[in-house]
Structure formats: structure tokens, C-alpha cells
Amino acid sequence: MSDFWLVNGWRQQSCATRDVDRYLRQARERGFHNYALVRQGRWYWLACSADATLTQQFDLALTVRRTFAKLYQGIYLALWQGQVVCVAWQGERLQHCVACQHDADGLHHIELLVQRIASNGKGQPSVLFAKQTPADIVNLCERHLCQWRLLFEQCTVKELQPPRAAKLKSLQLAPPWQQRQRVLAVCLVLMLAAAAVGWYLWPTSTTPVTATSVVRKLSPPAGVEIDLLNQLPQLFAGFQHLAGWQWRSAQLQGEQLQAILVPSFGRAEELRVQLPAGWELHDQGPQVLLKHSRSAKRLAVKGASQTLSWLDTSQRYFPSLAIQSGTPGQNTTYRWQQWQLRLPATDLLELARLASLLQQSNLRITSLRMQNGSRLQAELTIRLYQLLPISHGERTS
């Protein structure tokens, strides 16, 4: 994910949407191509990028703030692509998001930022050091932030899981409130046009008309949404540290996620109090079966997009990922394309990052198998669904 991050972007903040509209006009005038706009409390955070080559990019500042959402004030420091990354915030306000070279000038710049922030600490401010943070950065913070909490071994930039809201989009797309205004205006025009046409064509006499129509039930297709991959780190949180138990494997059965645990010295009644919320425990003699149920969602009625850019870019971000095309199929309601994805050595965070590559709304996971050993092995089958055309006299419900 390192190629995805926006760090040194053009950033603005405001509580008023009119200010944000003005900033977006300025960004277009200055030649920026993409932007991320998210509401953080009462404030809007705006980040703009001039890089038009990347197909997707995420705002690092928002990702860090959402990752450490419980901290009122903090500074996140990490080493990323030979640069020192610094993200600082206080409440709903972003104070700094910058990447400097790891040299004397870069360290001096970071020191000036730290000195400026140190005099304005509130509550219980914390300094978050990512894994492998250089010692000179740590020493610098220990000198100037002696009253702050120093938290070590935090997740690296590569391990951060960006929320969907942090993804940059084209500056040609309007912000949400402008889109709502346009939709309301179009709806009003259509309603007035329909009323005018209806009044003009209103018949002077009515003739009974008998019509028959067939209702097609749009039940959810097989599989679960790709968002399951984003939830895996939270669902399996703590599985590696269960006292007396080892997690061996997991798989998707229909819409239910199942995991197999085997004991080393633990008992089933002790395991119940260690499990995260949402798991059901079923004792099966020498092993334990855990179940986590999920609810199916309907497919988007609009036809699925056939742009499969992730097939071309997957090797760039996931070199060990093997993709094999399956046999297309269809039933009375949907047709689909199918692929099998294999990761011989992976982890839950990499599977979550894989979800950001699979962006089409009509993609579903129909099979998922994970084998836990010295390294996690994963194999999943995904389908891209498309609603079959509706025949004459048929409607959906």
C-alpha cells in the first residue's frame, strides 16, 4: 500500500461548506487532479493531490486519525520509503502531515514541529512511534516531549488500513452537498415536467385496461460482500494469543464464517470468556468450531461495470498473488464471471488491503479458506455478478 499514500498534499480545514467550495475552486485553478474530503467532527478536512498517474490514492492524515480515534491529541512518527513521516492532530483539527528526508535537514524540520506542538499539549497527549522508527527521532521526542506519553511498536505506514472515506477522487466530482442540491433540482424539474405532461395528456374518458405482469424476486446472490476482508483483522483479533488454544483454519460456509481451534492445555469453558464478540462456540470433541453469521445484501440493480483494472494492477501491489479465471455461469436472475485468488504466505492485514483493490459493488466472495501455520495461507473465490435483462411484462421487487 505504500504507493497509495498522499502525505505532502495541499491541505485546508474549515467548519463552513462555503469555504470548502472556495478551496476546491482554488485547487482546480492550481492544477490539482484529485481530492479527499471528510468531516471530522465539526471540521471538514480537505487534501488535494496533483498526481494523476495513480488509479487510487489514500489520505494518510485521515487514516492515522481514524486508526487512533480514541486519542484526543497525538503525534504519529514512522519511517516510510526513506522518509520520516509526521502526522499530528489535536481533537478535530489536523496540525501537521508531512514527510521529510531522514537527514540532518529533515531532523531539524521535525524538531521545529515537535517544539511548536509541545507547548500546546492538552489532556493526555501521546507520541506514537511506529515499528523501526529511527533512534534519533525517538531521542528527539524524549528531549522535547518529556511530559507526553511515549507509545512504541505501533503499526507501520504499510500496515495502516485506510478507510473508504480516505480514498481520493477526481476534482471533477462535486462534494456531497452539491450532489444533493443537483439531485433535488433534477427531481423537481422531472416532477414538474411529469405533471405538465400528465395534465396535457389526461384522457377525457377512461377505458378499462387489463394488464398482466410477472414480478421477479431479486434475492441476494451467493456469496458475501468484499468488505468481509476489511473486517478480518477485527474478527480474528486476539486469536493468536488465546490461552491454551491454537487457531488452525477458517472457511466461509454460505454466509457464515467458521474457524477451527484445537487445545494445547485449555478447556472450552475457559475459551468462551476469551473470544471476541459475535462468535458462537460449538464443542466438537478434540476441537472447537467457532461460527460468525453474516447477513446477505441485495445486488445493485444497475448492471455491473466490466472495467477489471484490478486484474492488471494486482501484481504491482501483491507480487505473490496468483489469480486463475474460473468458468462463467448464470441462473434465472444473474450471470457471473469467477476468479480464484491464492496467497501462499500472507496475513490478515494484507487480506484487508486486498479489499481496496476489489472496488466493484457487484463483487462477492463465494469461497474463503485460510490455513494458519508458520505463515497464513489464503485461498478465495470471487464472482462478479450482472443482473440479466428484464423481459417484456416483467418487473423486479
Q: Which is more confident, 3 or 274?
A: 274
Q: pLDDT band for position 368 (50/70/90)?
A: very high
- Region of poorest pLDDT, from 92-96, 114-118, 178-182, 364-368: 178-182
pLDDT at 142 over 70: yes
pTM of the model as a whole: 0.46
Q: Which is more confident, 200 or 23?
A: 23
Q: What integer pLDDT is reported at residue 221 of this predicted model?
A: 84
Average pLDDT (334-351) is: 90
Q: What integer pLDDT is reported at residue 211 of this predicted model?
A: 46
The length of the chain in residues reads 397
CA–CA distances in Å: residue 24 to residues 28, 31, 162, 351: 6, 11, 23, 34
According to DSSP, residue 274 is labeled: T
User: Could you tell me which residues are beta bridge partners of residue 377?
Assistant: 371
pLDDT at 181 over 70: no
User: Could you tell me which residues are beta bridge partners of residue 167?
Assistant: 58
- Distance of alpha carbon 383 from alpha carbon 335, whole angstroms: 10
- The string of pLDDT tens digits covering residues 90-124 is 999 999 999 999 999 999 999 999 888 887 777 78
Average pLDDT (379-387) is: 89
pLDDT at 206 over 70: no
CB-based contact 119:67 (threshold 8 Å): no
CB-based contact 43:93 (threshold 8 Å): yes
CB-based contact 293:255 (threshold 8 Å): yes
In a 3-state reduction of DSSP, which class is residue 318? coil
User: Which has the closest alpha carbon to 166: 97, 19, 64?
Assistant: 64
pLDDT at 341 over 60: yes
Q: What integer pLDDT is reported at residue 228 of this predicted model?
A: 86
Average pLDDT (83-87) is: 94
Q: What integer pLDDT is reported at residue 358 of this predicted model?
A: 83
Q: pLDDT band for position 371 (50/70/90)?
A: very high
Q: What integer pLDDT is reported at residue 2 of this predicted model?
A: 47
- Distance of alpha carbon 49 from alpha carbon 169, whole angstroms: 10
